[in-house]
Structure 1
Amino acid sequence: METPNLPAIRALRPAWNEGRIVGQKRPLKPKHVWAIRVRLELAGNHRDLALFNLAIDSKLRGCDLVKMKVVDVMASGLIKERASVLQSKTQKPVRFEISDGIRASLARWMREPLMVGSEYLWPGRFHERLHISTRQ
């Protein structure tokens, strides 16, 4: 018995990615990085400025950045010149240099009242969360 060739049935709904830009985002250009830094400085947002500066210069993954502890960047009351973090994905240590600008922004963040007695460098806003999430 022969089956007739029927036309293919197509869904009438549009594709999920129609009109969207998908794939990897382009890297930030230096002028965009400086524009973000200036806006964060003008807003007086010490946490976000320190987080952004450390993220750009350390090139750590977001999950490793939010899990950083105060002892990773601070020793005997001073910000270290170099820090070492164990990556959660590869379990390999990553060493990076902390420049003067980052040390200044981290020092301003450490003086904030929210940081008193905090174990994590980026503490969460709620008591059940020890550190901020990658989506916050």
Structure 2
Amino acid sequence: MTVIYSIGTVSQLSGVNIETIRYYEKADLLTATSRATNGYRQYDDASVERLAFIRRGRQLGFTIDEIRDLIALAHHPELPCADADRMTRAHLDGIEGKIRDLHRMRRALREVADCHGQTAEHCELLQALTGSVVRSKSERRV
């Protein structure tokens, strides 16, 4: 026997917001199994599992298109895992690049944090920002 859930119940079971569920339907990541006579969407256990899969993928930072590809791969368990591994490696490379960028930003902000200037004229952050603009303009002239 198939259990049928309302969108509110599916939201609670999967941990996915109702509006997000509707968005996933529009993005063709999820399909309501049917509609009740009152027009409300109806979902089953497979919908709950799909939403949990999508939520976990989004938590890991995968895009909607990447999740769509992963769902397609999950529906063909006989296929090799190489595509998922390639996608994971590419995603991991992107995350590591963002981490490097964040470390650079942190170092730059630490250099100007705790400014002792009394006015904006002596603000180290403003001077650093102005200096970077001046340098980039002079670098373009060279």
Would you tell me which structure has more helix in proportion to its own residues? Answer: 2
In terms of Rg, which structure is larger? Answer: 2
TM-score (norm 2): 0.23
Higher RCO structure, 1 or 2 (CA under 8 Å, sep 6+): 1
TM-score (norm 1): 0.24
